[in-house]
Amino acid sequence: MENVFNNQDKLVHDLKRLFLDPKNFNDFQIEIKNRNDLPSTIFYCHRGILSFRSEYFNALLRSKMKEYQEGKVIFNDISSQTMKNILEYIYTGKIEINEENALETLINSKKLCFEEELIKFISEYIIKLINIDNAVDILHISNQYDFENIYKYCIYFLTSNFQEIMMSNDFYNISETDLQILLENDNLSIRKEIELLHSIIKWAQFHCGFEIGLEHTSEKQSLQIKEKIKNLYSKIRFCDIPKKEFDKIKELNLIPEDISNYITEFHQFAHLPIQHKMNIYHLKEKTKRKKLLILEKRNIFRKSHIVGNNNSINNNKYIQYLKEWINDDNFFNSMELAFSARNDGFTTKSFHEKCDDHGKSLVLIKTTENSIIGGFTSIGFSSDKRNWSTDSESYAYIADEKAFLFTLRNSNKENYCKFSIRKNWIRYAVVYDLNRGPFFGFLGDLSVDETLIRGSTNLGYTYNLPPELKFGKKKQNNDGDEKFTGLVDKFEIEELEVYLLLQTIKEN
């Protein structure tokens, strides 16, 4: 209203003066017992303001307890600087949060029963600070004081960065309970399961007081290690540990007998002809009933920057559609990330070194416009001329009747669509060109240039348009390309990933 005078800034200023002036008609003291034998710090306050601004002080000052009678309360577990910040908030409604005081301020704001808005504000600030160096410590604190949002984010962060955490000393400070939660997560980001198993054994050695990395253990030490990690073994995916590596661990007598027997049986079945695969199915069902995850694979896309390591509904849908379209469970369940432009470099040399001559290949592309598109070939990017249908000096066409293109997201809109190959154009399914990235189709229905940061589409020549679009219509206004990428023919690439069968990926 025009006739209302507002001088709230002056009110806040005066209330701050009231707090800072020791001769301010105070009627209550807050004493902070400082560490290192330093003198206590006394804050002179006002019962009315404290009780109205904090439920903790309200209950304390209405209770007629010793603090009420003496007009003083003593704190031993809070620094004087943090208490000063908190009291300024009580008097003025303003508080400054930084990296040094955020955790202590959050803990004591909760103890003093401040409003949820402040707790949320500080929590969100702390979440932004979480990194490799502090994640484990913040995990402990958030669990101890029941800061659920921070705890959940720490679990997510550690899951996404577990390979790096596993190589640090902080790994040994993770509690057994938290480690169980991390290990049972299908999205745990690790290079190899055998590396995880070795790290878990080292974690047990540390907590048993043994030398870390001890290779030869006595029978008594082995029993202690097994006992320490008996609840962790069931979370390790032994099915992804090669038999040779498993046998080495088995010889150390560090694996419980029941799990050892299951894995030995699994390896026996895995090398038998296809008709015995049902035995593996029954073995998996048996271990599931016993709540063992030892034969369950982790999320195939846990390392992906495109359909990565979170459990969002959309990401689960992406995986569901890809599995349905590829229609090859053996490939889909065994493939691994072989090439990531972010990790391996945006170069054709790196792409071809990692991806050539490995057979079935799944290509995922995320554009800078937030589209997710790609292609699948059952032949792969083959330099073997026996797979070429035609060739020239610089490139070759590869026939593949099972090849297809797809879109999962069209700009920011979900758009699940598969583009199968046209019957008369099978011989032009894939183009093998050492000077380019992935290339599908005679005239580049989907192609990536030599930089791996630019791509283009020309959908409708080698691969079918969506049923609702006619070829002629597509030629006029690029409806096919727009349905594919959300753009008209050209796009820029944020990430490009290629997935190959596990056993065909070269160790680099």
**Residue ranges per structural domain of the chain:** 8-129, 144-289, 313-504
Nearest-CA neighbor of 198 among 234, 170, 165, 236? 236
Count how many Cα atoms sit within 13 Å of the Cα of residue 270 in the half-sphere of its side chain.
Answer: 16
Tokens of 430: 């894939």
> Is the distance from CB of 448 to CB of 486 less than 8 angstroms?
no
Bin 357: left if φ > 0, else alpha if -120 < ψ < 50, else beta. Answer: left
Terminus-to-terminus CA distance in the chain, angstroms?
72
pLDDT of 192: 86
Q: Phi and psi for 397 in degrees, rounded to 5?
A: -95, 140
Architecture of domain 8-129: 2-Layer Sandwich (3.30)
28-32 vs 72-75, strand pairing mode: parallel
Q: Helix, strand, or coil here: 454?
A: strand
Topology alike, domains 8-129 and 144-289 = no
Angle formed at CA 30 by CA 28 and CA 31, multiple of 5 degrees? 135
pLDDT of 75: 92
Q: Helix, strand, or coil here: 318?
A: helix
Neighbours of 440 (CB within 10 A): 30
Q: Helix, strand, or coil here: 52?
A: helix
Rounded Cα–Cα distance for residues 497 and 343 (Å): 10
Residues 6 or more apart whose CB falls under 8 angstroms from that of 75 comprise 30, 31, 32, 33, 83
- Cβ density class 172-206: b for 16+ within 10 Å, e for less: eebeeebbebbbebebbbbeebbebbebbbbbbbb
Q: Is the dihedral of CA 373, 379, 382, 386 positive or negative?
A: negative
> Rg of the Cα trace of the chain?
31
Nearest-CA neighbor of 328 among 402, 265, 260? 402
Q: Per residue of the chain (508 residues), what is the pLDDT tens digit?
A: 568 767 778 877 878 887 777 677 888 999 999 887 788 999 998 988 998 899 999 999 888 788 888 889 999 989 999 999 999 999 888 899 999 999 999 999 999 888 889 999 999 999 999 999 999 999 999 999 999 999 999 999 999 899 999 999 999 999 999 999 999 998 898 888 999 999 999 999 999 998 887 677 788 888 898 899 989 999 999 988 888 999 988 888 888 889 999 999 888 877 665 555 667 778 888 888 888 888 888 888 888 889 865 545 567 788 889 999 999 887 887 788 999 999 999 999 999 999 998 899 999 999 998 899 999 999 998 776 666 656 566 678 999 999 999 999 887 677 888 999 999 999 999 999 888 999 999 889 999 999 999 999 888 889 998 765 544 444 444 555 555 665 567 899 999 999 998 554 444 3
pLDDT of 214: 67
- Give, for 289, the enclosing helix (H) or strand (E): helix 277-289
Q: Is the pTM of this model over 0.85?
A: no
Range list of H helices, 340-393: 341-344, 348-355
Angle formed at CA 325 by CA 433 and CA 441, multiple of 5 degrees? 25
The correct answer on CATH 3.40.190.10 for the domain covering 144-289 is: no
pLDDT of 20: 75
Identify the residue whose tokens are 């026939």: 399
